[in-house]
Amino acid sequence: MPVVHAVQKLGLEAEAVLDPAIQFPVALSEPLPSPRTVFLTGATGFLGAHLLDELLRRTDADIFCLIRADHLEAARGRLVQHLQSYGLWREALAGRLRPIVGDVSRPRLGLTETEFCNLAGHIDVIYHSAGSINALYPYSQLKATNVLGTQEILRLAGQVRTKPVHYVSSMAVFFNDAYMGVERLRESDIPRYHPSLKGGYTQSRWVADRLVLSAQERGLPACIYRCVRVMGHSQTGAMNEMHDVLPLVLKACVQMGKCPVLDVDVTLAPVDYVSQAIVHLSRQARSYGRAFHLLTPRPISWPQLMATIRSFGYALEELRYDQWRREVRQQASQGADKLFFTTLLMVLLAPHYLLYRRPPLDTQYTQEGLADTTITCPPAEPSLIGKYIAYWQKTGYFPPPSVS
């Protein structure tokens, strides 16, 4: 059966029905601007590590982190090693870290019923950033982590007493034909279903996003943070997890010495801006019930992006996109780095949004919530892109430029 037919038969609207047993009968008595205990998922991910760092900096809370591991010491070791890889580990704050062995894809997050209830009664607020972002997986393979995991987080939020939930979603939930021709996508807009919603990742994010909206309707104080492409730190350029199509395409360009000619703007947001914005917005009572668009105010054009790469000494021959993709296919079949180019070819053949023409995105709620702070998203200009290129050169992700 062709993949497109299988997608059409998924019935995503039926998937986006929150378990009726998940209720929030005990209203939140008072938002806690300074929570005593925080529960965080995704701490061993890219954004999650920076969220953890920001929560440690901006609160005095103990942070409970759900970690997949065989035992508690292994969970702690995995978390520490991950933070060290981004230069975020601080021994002085180790006493506030509370690893929990579990799995977001399993019922009750992999905890026993007693452990689940005890956790629910102990924590003050939940930050849910965990999720699988594999662009090659169909919805069926991502459902357990991205959809059912979110549902279990919402169950935890209503257990014992109501806890606010801060859910990290994606702007991709809007990337379908339902929004063709709209003047502006507002933060108050509800993601609508359309059969053109392609790709397992986007579909799973859309369903999970709708589950959180359903929980809001049942009384849960929740915020949704819809991010565009999250890239490396704005100061260090650090980014070690290359799942997104953009860094994959850029690496292919420099390795082949060839780039496609594209008429697109590239939108992104540095991870430090996203984590700082989420934590700051999450501590305001007026944020509950709102969604926030997190993105750079000024994207970078594809020609300017290629010019920035050239400024680092990389010669790039311009090809039509179809010719460039044929070059990728040839490298995948007989090049020196077959595995990388095969992976890239699969990503390019799967639904992705590098070439997607987005409508203008409203950020009114975000601007209001960040007013009178120094938290701003830098424009995607050559100085920022240069930090990413320099970091990738240092780590070996980019080969050194050829000496002419």
In this prediction, residue 177 carries a pLDDT of 86
Average pLDDT over residues 375-382: 95
Euclidean distance between CA atoms 159 and 397, whole angstroms: 45
**CATH code reported for the domain at 3-23+36-232+268-294:** 3.40.50.720
Q: Half-sphere exposure of residue 64, counting CA atoms within 13 Å on the CB side?
A: 19
What is the rounded average pLDDT for all residues in the chain?
92
Task: Indicate if the pLDDT at residue 351 is higher than 80.
Answer: no
The DSSP code sequence of 48-96 is HHHHHHHHHHH---EEEEEE--SSHHHHHHHHHHHHHHTT---GGGGGG
Both structure tokens of 338: 């077959």
Residue 219 in this model has a pLDDT that exceeds 60: yes
> Residue 100 pLDDT more than 50?
yes
Judged by DSSP in three states, 338 sits in helix
Whether 210 has a pLDDT exceeding 70, the answer reads yes
Type and span of the H or E element at 309: helix 302-310
Per-residue pLDDT tens digits for 65-84 = 999 999 999 999 999 999 99
With CA atoms as reference, report the closest residue to 174 among 160, 161, 164, 184.
184
The pLDDT-based confidence of 371 (bands split at 50, 70, 90) is: very high
pLDDT digits 0-9 by tens, 173-184: 998 888 887 888
What does DSSP say about strands 62-67 and 37-41: parallel, antiparallel, or unpaired?
parallel
Alpha-helical runs (H) found in 182-300:
200-217, 245-256, 271-282
